[in-house]
Amino acid sequence: MFTRLILTNRIAPPLGASPGRTSRLSAFLVGMATATATPPALSRRRRLLVLAICCSSLLLVSLDTTIVNVALPSIHRDLHASLSELQWTLDAYTLVIAALLMLAGSTADRVGRRRVFQVGLVVFTAGSALCAVAPSLGFLVGARVLQAVGASMLNPVAMSIIRNVFEDPRERAQAVGLWGAVVGIATALGPVLGVLVDGPGWRYVFLVNVPIGLIAVVLTRLYVPESRAPRARRLDPVGQVLVIVWLASLVYAIIEGGKRGWTSPEIVACFAVALVSFAGLIAYELRRREPLVEIRFFRSVPFSGASAIAVCAFAAMGGALFLGTLYLQSVRGFSALHAGLYSLPMALMMLILAPLSGRIVGTRGSRWPLVLAGSFLTAAPLLLLRLDVRTSTTVLIAAYLLTGAGIGLVNPPITTTAISGMPADQAGVAAAIASTSRQVGFALGVAVVGALTGAGAVRHFGPSFATATHPGWAFISGLGVVILVLGAVTSSRWALGTARRTAARLALE
């Protein structure tokens, strides 16, 4: 029984290291520290079924983002929304998810991961139904907030379920790769379901979530094993409030700054509040024994780097989808389905390369996936720096292909880093930090490219919008450079050493 205890709670190797290089001392100590966190071993068939159920949650959350992007011009016409209001349609969703992810992860570790996962599915499904009947933009944004509350209970909790079900590091890395491929599937389905926008209307893009959510609730109850941390973490209401204030004030200032003036008292005050709340969050969490945001994780250079890479990569993805959708439908005059089909090459690359990247990370480490991802995400926006109404289809498709390749390669290393080298009883918190970084990145990407485009230039989304997007594409290319540099640095031998030392400290603390 003692041997089983050690084996069922082993930790994965740090990012970039092969499984054989895992510190035996760290694995032993983590096994001692997490006595009852892992449920009995499941058969391979059952594990794959659990993976499929968990991936359904990612499909729901990701599909909602891609479909809503396709529907933005229709929402603009039907509800008379401005550019900043369209940004809030996306960012109200991603902001709330980002603010609540870590709370959801730690709550799941406390009260049960399957239980929280089921609640999240129910709330998300209800929010989707309300979005479908929204009579005004304010009601739609409010329903998106409810959706986000449910979504915050899905992805990080599903990832911690996967962490506990897939015990073998290589098998877990492959599972994470398949998990990342679901983003590609969602990106592919989003454009195809754009036919709903052209046909019944944009409201039906929310209704597609309802049957998927209901089926997932039933399957979760039947097949997903319950698991929780052996020792419940304390709630951190002060830390949670600081996270909400920081994210809300920062994104509000970026989105509204172009319209209200960057030097207006309101915007300056919001930036000041964001800075003070962020500094206060770090100072407060460092003093807590069981903080909401586990600052100790960031002693690991690969973990810190992966969090920063997640912000940059999903800022690039969010910004590119936002600008691309509005350009294709509003400048080129394409239908929602026609415009959506242009993003299929991106989805295809994500679908193919995410599992491949997971295998590479599991066997050879993260360096090449991250370096290649940074290179692709740098090159793709450069093709669109001279975007106009006559830009060829070849250029557009090439940009989408490179963007999809970059996102497909970068996602598995981010997720694997979040859960590798961390004690099993903190898997939910670690996964939530990585998921939070993604959502923060997506929200910031939409906010920043919208601000760089300029509210005045796109009030009616005319031909001038193509030229107005040029600063946004330059910004996205710069994010690719950051990913390239961080990918090389955080996979170095020195960085991997900090990950091993962090795992050992966490096991002893």
**For position 240, what pLDDT does the model report?**
86
Phi, psi of 193 (to 5 degrees): -75, -5
- Residues 6 or more apart whose CB falls under 8 angstroms from that of 408 comprise 180, 181, 183, 184, 349, 350, 351, 352, 353, 354, 357
Q: Are 132 and 207 in contact (CB under 8 A)?
A: yes
* Domain limit, last residue, from 245, 260, 287: 287
Residue 35 located in a structural domain:
no
**Are 146 and 214 in a shared domain?**
yes
Q: Are 444 and 251 in contact (CB under 8 A)?
A: yes
Phi, psi of 300 (to 5 degrees): -80, 115
Q: Are 355 and 460 in contact (CB under 8 A)?
A: no
**Are 215 and 79 in a shared domain?**
yes
Range(s) of the domain holding residue 320: 43-226+288-508
Residue 37 located in a structural domain:
no
pLDDT tens digit sequence for 245-279? 998 898 888 888 877 788 889 999 999 999 999 99
Residue 264: CB atoms within 10 A of its CB come to 14
**Are 124 and 246 in a shared domain?**
no
Residue 408 located in a structural domain:
yes
**Are 264 and 313 in a shared domain?**
no
**Are 244 and 372 in a shared domain?**
no
d(CA 439, CA 102): 12
**For position 242, what pLDDT does the model report?**
92
d(CA 372, CA 93): 30
d(CA 437, CA 446): 14
Q: What is the 3-state secondary structure (H, E, C) of 138-204?
A: HHHHHHHHHHHHHHCCCHHHHHHHHHHHCCCHHHHHHHHHHHHHHHHHHHHHHHHCCHHHHCCCCCH
Which DSSP category does 331 fall into?
A: I
Residue 29 located in a structural domain:
no
CATH number reported for the structural domain that contains residue 198 in this entry:
1.20.1250.20
Q: Write down the number of H helices and E strands in the chain.
A: 22, 0
User: Which residues in 20-49 are b (16+ Cβ under 10 Å) and which e?
Assistant: eebbeebbebbbebbeebbbeebeeeebeb
- Look up residue 331 and give its amino acid: V
Residue 370 located in a structural domain:
yes
Q: Are 421 and 197 in contact (CB under 8 A)?
A: no
Domain count, the chain: 2
**Are 53 and 184 in a shared domain?**
yes
**For position 466, what pLDDT does the model report?**
86
Cα torsion at 455, 483, 181, 187 (round to 10°)? 10
**For position 459, what pLDDT does the model report?**
52
**Are 59 and 208 in a shared domain?**
yes
Distances (CA, A) of 375 to 35, 320, 403: 43, 16, 10
Residue 174 located in a structural domain:
yes
List the pLDDT tens digit at each of the 509 positions of the chain: 333 333 333 334 444 444 443 343 333 333 333 333 444 567 777 888 888 888 888 888 877 777 787 788 888 888 887 777 888 888 888 888 888 877 887 788 788 888 899 999 999 999 999 999 898 888 999 999 999 999 888 877 887 788 778 877 777 777 877 776 776 677 667 666 766 777 678 888 888 888 888 888 898 888 888 877 666 667 788 988 998 899 889 888 888 887 778 888 999 999 999 999 999 999 998 888 778 777 888 888 888 888 899 999 999 998 998 898 889 888 888 887 788 788 888 888 887 888 888 888 878 888 889 999 999 999 999 999 999 988 999 999 999 999 999 998 998 888 776 666 566 666 556 666 777 888 889 888 988 898 888 754 445 566 778 888 899 999 999 999 999 999 888 888 888 788 778 777 776 66
- Residues 6 or more apart whose CB falls under 8 angstroms from that of 421 comprise 11, 12, 13, 14, 15, 26, 300, 303, 499, 500, 502, 503
**For position 477, what pLDDT does the model report?**
96
* Domain limit, last residue, from 287, 302, 320: 287
**For position 230, what pLDDT does the model report?**
67
**Are 331 and 269 in a shared domain?**
no
Q: What is the 3-state secondary structure (H, E, C) of 442-502?
A: HHHHHHHHHHHHCCHHHCCCCCHHHHHCHHHHHHHHHHHHHHHHHHHHHCCHHHHHHHHHH
**Are 73 and 98 in a shared domain?**
yes
Residue 38 located in a structural domain:
no
pTM: 0.76
Residue 3 located in a structural domain:
no
* Domain limit, last residue, from 287, 303, 322: 287
**For position 462, what pLDDT does the model report?**
65
Residue 292: both structure tokens together:
């909401």
**Are 216 and 247 in a shared domain?**
no
**For position 97, what pLDDT does the model report?**
84
Q: Are 488 and 10 in contact (CB under 8 A)?
A: no
pLDDT tens digit sequence for 275-308? 999 999 999 988 887 787 778 888 888 888 888 9
d(CA 375, CA 206): 35
**Are 466 and 408 in a shared domain?**
yes
Residue 320: both structure tokens together:
């590119």
**Are 264 and 343 in a shared domain?**
no
Distances (CA, A) of 210 to 84, 193, 214, 218: 28, 14, 6, 13
